Amino acid sequence: MRTDSGRQDGEGSDRTLVYFGWLTLFVYLATPAGALVDIQTSYMLKNELHATATQISTFRLVTGIPVYVAFVFGLARDQWSPFGMRDRGYFLVFAPVTALACVWMAYAGFTYMGLLVGTLMAMLAFRFVAAACQGLIALVGQEKLMSGRLSALWNVISSVPVVAGAFASGYVSDHLAARQAIYLVAIFNLLIVALALWKPPSVFGQIYDRKQAHATDFVGNIRRLVRHKAVYPAVLICFLWNFAPGSATPLQFYLTNELHASDSVYSYYNGIFAAAFVPTFLLYGFLCKRVALGKLLWGGTIIAVPQMIPLAFIHSADLALMMAAPTGLMGGIATAAYLDLAMRSCPPGLQGTLMMLVDGVLALSGRAGDLLGSWIYHSAPSHGFVYCVIATTAVYALILTLIPLAPKALIATTDGESVAEDPVPASRESRKPA
């Protein structure tokens, strides 16, 4: 028989998931790094401003700098509380700043330097929004013992813009003017402001008063981050998982050059691939309450290691699209489990720092893996893609060597169960941040 307390806890969890569902959706639609802006700026740089491939690559490299050093913004989130409102303060301050940067960029007229400066300003401001969002999700996940369900929700909602962008990129470029796309991003940022005015007790009720939210001074925070042993396997696993030498440029060249597929096939492949993760994300949300995280890490990784191997045997574009779904399904449990592990691994009061460190590592590892894959692909014209698949499989297999390094107490429980022993106790210096 379900008690009133259990019913209230369930209703509170449902409200928490609803709030974070909307917040995650708005954040991913509002990011200046998203497909909505990236598609338009890339076409504008190429077709209207006649930028070279090197200039476009430089543009993306420079505007991506705030993502690469994302942990700085996470550390700021954990150290500073705008207006004493903590994460809601970041939404109320920096989402409007991002919107203003977008409006300025659209209003001032499009030049290479104008786009570069405007996008960089928007990216810098939005990193604070992302840090607050991810830090808040991790903090609530730890305190309410629902990091697994929040990981599943986060991954499902964040897949929506990716899938939509993959299938709608051509339509967007043909029917949505660059200014309209940028104004739309500004509007999504204003929706984040509106959501920040909502303060549901199921999310914000006394969360900053509990020990998981307690931090020290700047030096103390850095010291605790370095000494927190759970950080290292979580970050390294995320690095290896996104370091996939065969999944981006080599696959695009393999489909278009060797299988003679159109450019749209690669976009459709990515859309199907991303959409196929969703069912296993939902499955993870069901399993995480019944199976310990450790078992999900092992099982998800074992399934994911051979994820790329079927692509080495395809000989037509149609077959590639058919294989996109099963390969995507193979990666869902692992992806959700790794994010769950990252949330659980955050030191007290440093949720923003670690989650943004993971964010930066994912971006850097993705770029580095693609660079290595491109070199491998072009170094062996006849079997380059096969070698990329082998390299990706070997990298994924290395994750199996890192799982045993995660603190056993941290991964021995299911979602909703208390960790038997805090793997790294909070420092005696811990205090509530100002």
pLDDT at 14: 85
Q: What's the DSSP call for residue 350?
A: -
- pLDDT-derived band at 133, boundaries 50, 70, 90: very high
Residues 6+ apart with CB under 8 A from 136: 87, 203, 351
CA 31/CA 66 separation, integer angstroms: 12
User: For 83, what's the count of Cα atoms within 13 Å in the CB-facing half-sphere?
Assistant: 9
For the domain spanning 12-197+211-411, the CATH number is 1.20.1250.20
Q: pLDDT confidence of 174, banded at 50, 70, 90? A: low
Name the one residue in this structure whose structure tokens are 């943004």: 356
Q: Minimum mean pLDDT among 120-129, 169-178, 252-261: which range?
A: 169-178
Express as a percent the part of the chain with pLDDT over 70.
89
How do residues 24-82 score in pLDDT, each as one tens digit? 999 999 998 876 677 677 767 777 777 776 677 678 888 889 999 999 999 999 999 99
When mean pLDDT is compared over 106-120, 182-196, 204-218, 311-325, the highest value belongs to: 182-196
Beta carbons within 10 angstroms of residue 160's beta carbon: 16
> How far is 140 from 333, CA to CA, in rounded Å?
21
Domains in the chain: boundaries: 12-197+211-411
